[in-house]
């Protein structure tokens, strides 16, 4: 079985969980757009929940949320914020079949090694109910690499991403938007926001 994570990147989040949690931005514009596509009380899986801000926002609005993170330390930060247990789940451990109305994966799949991303996307596709929605964001680029904090990024182009999504499963819609932002490393980056709906 493949791991679908980078050990150095995971070690960064395990060793810097509190600092990263304190830095994490709490902007919910795209999240609210995502939630607007779902029925009231919809079941949502959050991958890479970090400090739990997005899960808290979803729970407050009455959604049935399963927050998860690949780092036990980050999961603990989220659990403290949410007042409930948060699972430690690595992407390749996801094993669900048509269970969720939505999967929210903000700024986490960008760390999946390029040769593993297709398999992870296929697992997410399988976990979605027919007609379910999936959001993920990536740092755009031309080739995989590491930032100054030694975190791995797959740095995809839009075309490369679209191909991986097509290989993962059938989607009735697949939209990619881009904007510029500054990350934890204080470096500007182009962020690719991918929103897809599983076929019904």
Q: What is the mean pLDDT of each run of 10 residues along the chain (200 residues)?
A: 60 62 68 98 97 96 97 93 96 97 97 96 98 98 91 96 98 97 76 97
Instruction: Classify residue 70: in a domain, yes or no.
Output: yes
Does residue 2 form part of some domain?
A: no
Q: Containing domain of residue 15, as a range?
A: 7-198
pLDDT at residue 14, rounded to an integer? 64
CA angle 88, 5, 150 (to 5 degrees): 110
Report how far apart, in Å, the C-alpha atoms of 83 and of each of 37, 109, 188 are.
Answer: 27, 25, 34
pTM value? Answer: 0.88
* Domains identified in the chain, total number: 1
pLDDT at 28: 87
Residue 1 in domain? no
- What is the domain-level CATH number for residue 154? 3.40.50.150
CA 179 – CA 124 distance, rounded (Å): 24
CA distance 55 to 104: 9
Task: Look at residues 158, 167, 103 and name the one whose alpha carbon lies nearest to residue 135.
Answer: 103
- 55 CB neighbour count, 10 Å cutoff: 25
Nearest-angstrom CA–CA distance, 145 and 111? 10
Burial of 196 (0-12, 13-18, 19+ CB in 10 A): buried
Q: Retrieve residue 161's tokens.
A: 């991403």
Residue 127 lies in a domain: yes
For position 181, what pLDDT does the model report?
Answer: 79
C-alpha separations of 165 from 120, 136, 196 in Å? 10, 11, 9
């Amino acid at each position: 079985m493949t791991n679908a994570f980078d050990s150095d990147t995971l070690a960064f989040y395990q060793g810097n969980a509190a600092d990263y949690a304190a830095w994490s931005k709490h902007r919910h514009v795209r999240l609210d757009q995502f939630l607007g596509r779902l029925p009231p009380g919809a079941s949502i899986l959050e991958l890479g929940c970090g400090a739990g801000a997005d899960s808290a926002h979803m729970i407050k609005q009455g959604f049935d949320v399963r927050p998860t993170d690949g780092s036990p330390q980050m999961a603990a930060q989220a659990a403290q914020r949410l007042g409930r247990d948060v699972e430690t789940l690595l992407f390749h451990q996801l094993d669900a079949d048509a269970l969720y109305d939505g999967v929210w994966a903000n700024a986490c799949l960008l760390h999946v090694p390029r040769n593993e991303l297709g398999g992870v996307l296929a697992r997410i596709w399988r976990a979605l109910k027919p007609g379910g929605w999936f959001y993920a964001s990536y740092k755009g680029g031309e080739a995989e690499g590491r930032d100054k904090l030694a975190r791995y990024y797959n740095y995809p182009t839009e075309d490369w991403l679209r191909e991986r999504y097509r290989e993962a499963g059938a989607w009735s819609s697949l939209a990619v938007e881009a904007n510029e932002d500054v990350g934890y490393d204080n470096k500007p980056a182009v962020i690719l926001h991918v929103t897809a709906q599983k076929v019904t």
